[in-house]
A and B are shown apart, each in its own frame.
Chain A
């Protein structure tokens, strides 16, 4: 199969998993956090048992899929190295790729390990749980903030008006 056909399939996968990931990120921040603040302790416990783990499963594997498909796309186009080195015209997609990579690492190295403590999947004292909840919250909010420039550079790499980024 031609490289351009592979690239289309990788781009399709990147969109499908990316929408799953960032959609759930916005759901957590815009809907779930205010909901959990407003409900009773019993409702919160039910959500932690039946809702949050499922959302987090699709969230973290969505992040993994998005990152992998993105890397495969850049490899197929032969610009993986120059994108991550922010060289020439590839600096536009490269900045998006760096922001996406930071967000992906944030999910797997900060949000998920701390959410496991909050959900009781690993042992933690009440104080550790409270600290883990705050860390996971700030990491999640950081990802919402980073998603704004990340999506700008992802879209801008293919759809910016000529000359917008110079070059």
Chain B
């Protein structure tokens, strides 16, 4: 499987997915 970090778009999409996951984590903590 290709590393998503090798492309800018893969990096940006990974960043958005990570944002959503961490948002749910923080929402559960607050």
Q: Which chain A residues have a beta carbon within 8 Å of chain B's beta carbons?
A: 29-30, 86-89, 91-92, 95, 99, 138, 141-142, 144-149, 152-153, 165-167
Which residues of B are found within 8 Å of A88, using beta-carbon distances?
A: 29-30
Q: Which chain B residues have a beta carbon within 8 Å of chain A's beta carbons?
A: 3, 5-6, 8, 11-12, 14-16, 18-19, 22-23, 25-30
A142 to B18, CA, bound (A): 11
Q: Which residue of A lies closest to B29 (CB)?
A: A91
How many A-B Cβ pairs are below 8 Å? 59
Q: Which residue of A lies closest to B22 (CB)?
A: A149
Q: Which residue of B lies closest to A93 (CB)?
A: B26
Residues A144 and B15 in contact, CB atoms below 8 Å apart = yes
The 8 Å CB contact of A149, one of B8, B19, B27, B30, is B19
Q: In the complex, how many angstroms separate the beta carbon of A160 from the nearest chain B beta carbon?
A: 10
Q: Which residue of B lies closest to A157 (CB)?
A: B26
Which residues of A are found within 8 Å of B28, using beta-carbon distances?
A: 166
Which residues of A are found within 8 Å of B8, using beta-carbon distances?
A: 29-30, 144
Residues B30 and A146 in contact, CB atoms below 8 Å apart = no
Which residues of A are found within 8 Å of B19, using beta-carbon distances?
A: 148-149, 152
Residues A166 and B18 in contact, CB atoms below 8 Å apart = no
